[in-house]
Amino acid sequence: MTRMILTAATALALFAGGQAAAMQKLPDGTTAEERANTARLNAEQQAKAKAEQDAYQVQVAAAAQQEAAAQATFAEETAAYEAEKARVAAMGAEERQKWEADVAACKAGDATRCAPPPAKPKN
């Protein structure tokens, strides 16, 4: 029985010593438990910051992709507009040349190329 009491007392002393060691202040004034908590909180904060940074990078990439698509669409629409503008200008120039040729032929005596006389208004 004495041996049992002695064993229990030793175990209790070791347990109390372990808790005392955990509560013992380190040279900087903190305890091992405080350092462990600080390390855990720092790790959590670092993980949160990494997740936020990753989400931000995804947003930046999406915005860049959207901007590139908008620029490509603008370039395509501008090219189509310029092509249509050139087509209409060429058509107008062709019609003007035909008209000038008709006027020149009419003045040279080709009545088939002259414009019909204006209709007289009815009174």
pLDDT, tens only, 33-61: 999 999 999 999 999 999 999 999 999 99
Examine residue 38 and state whether it is found in any structural domain, yes or no. yes
Give the alpha-carbon dihedral of 117, 120, 121, 123, to 10 degrees. 180
Q: Which tokens go with 30?
A: 């903190």
Q: Give the amino acid at 101.
A: A
Examine residue 21 and state whether it is found in any structural domain, yes or no. no
Examine residue 22 and state whether it is found in any structural domain, yes or no. no
Quote the CA–CA distance of 110 and 106 in Å, as a whole number.
Answer: 5
Residues spanned by the domain of 42: 29-107
Examine residue 15 and state whether it is found in any structural domain, yes or no. no
Chain centroid to Cα 67, Å, comes to 7
Examine residue 16 and state whether it is found in any structural domain, yes or no. no
* Of residues 119 and 76, more confidently modeled: 76
Domain tally for the chain?
1
Examine residue 74 and state whether it is found in any structural domain, yes or no. yes
Which residues have a Cβ under 8 Å from the Cβ of 113 and sit 6 or more positions away? 101, 102, 105, 106
The reported pTM is: 0.51
Examine residue 6 and state whether it is found in any structural domain, yes or no. no
